[in-house]
Amino acid sequence: MKKNDFEQLVDRQYAALFRFALSLSKSEAEAADLTQQTFFLWASKGHQLRDRSKAKSWLFTTLYREFLGRRRHEGRFPKVELDEVGEEEMSILPNVNALDSATLLQALREVEELFRAPVTLFYLEQFSYQEIADVLEVPIGTVMSRLSRGKAQLRQRLLSKEEALGNKIVSFQSERKEKGHG
């Protein structure tokens, strides 16, 4: 890969990769390190990718693998809870505009690791479920399940933060009616 090509790829993707890493990792320093490591891996192995249009997906996949590898190495891979998403969680939405980015990021980091990656890819890059499946190397059905659960967890965390900040909770009046219908 030519130097200019590499720089262009960095310019196009480094911010999004950093934000993805930031949502996964515990600190800005770790996120920056993950981002840099991803590009270094691209510099040494990216030439093996025949289809250059998949460079973006390759970068996100590689960053995620790198993150998982470090977590496994540290023995911190979390226990996964697959509780059902409560009906209430689906029906009440926090007022995101009343929260700042730092609070959103904090809430995102509190989402279980398994669900956090697809949710971040969905919001950050507006990846389709197929693209998320490609990056995380899981079936489409799993992506939809994790998105559903991850978003529900995120809403819960945001609602908690809203309550802590004294913000108004926006709920749907119509939900009660819907529940009444079964």
Partner 1 sequence: MDNREARFILSAYRPGGQDASDPRFAEALDQVRRDPILEQWFRDSLTFDTAMTDKLRAMTTPTDLRENILAGLKISRVSDWKSRLAKWAIAAALILSAALGSLIWHNTRPTRLADWQTQALDVISSLVRNESSFDSQSNQPAELIAWLRVNHAPAAQKLPDNLNKLASLGCKTFSSNGISVSVICFMRPDGGLIHLITTNAPAPSARPLKTTPKSAQQGEWATATWREGDRIYMLALEGSRDQLQSYLL
Q: Which residues bind partner 1 (CB under 8 A)?
A: 1-4, 6-7, 10-11, 14-15, 18-19, 22-23, 28, 32, 35-37, 39-40, 43-45, 47, 87, 90-91, 93-94, 96-97, 99-101, 104-105, 108, 120, 122-124, 126, 128-129, 140, 143-145, 147-148, 151, 154-155, 170, 172, 174-175, 177-178
Least separation, in Å, of the C-beta of 74 and partner 1?
18
Least separation, in Å, of the C-beta of 164 and partner 1?
18
Quote the CA–CA distance of 111 and 40 in Å, as a whole number.
Answer: 29
Residue among 81 and 87 whose Cβ is closer to partner 1? 87
Residue among 77 and 172 whose Cβ is closer to partner 1? 172
β-strand 92-93 against 170-171: which pairing, if any?
Answer: antiparallel
Residue among 53 and 126 whose Cβ is closer to partner 1? 126
Q: Left, alpha or beta for 137 (phi > 0: left; psi -120 to 50: alpha)? A: left
Of 124, 111, 127, 101, nearest to 17 (Cα)? 124
Please enumerate in sequence order all residues whose Cβ is within 8 A of that of 134, keeping only pairs 6 or more positions apart, or say none: 57, 61
Q: Where are the alpha helices (DSSP H) in 26-139?
A: 28-45, 55-74, 87-91, 101-110, 113-124, 129-136
Least separation, in Å, of the C-beta of 68 and partner 1?
19
Residue among 79 and 84 whose Cβ is closer to partner 1? 84
Residue among 128 and 160 whose Cβ is closer to partner 1? 128
Q: Name the DSSP class of 52.
A: G
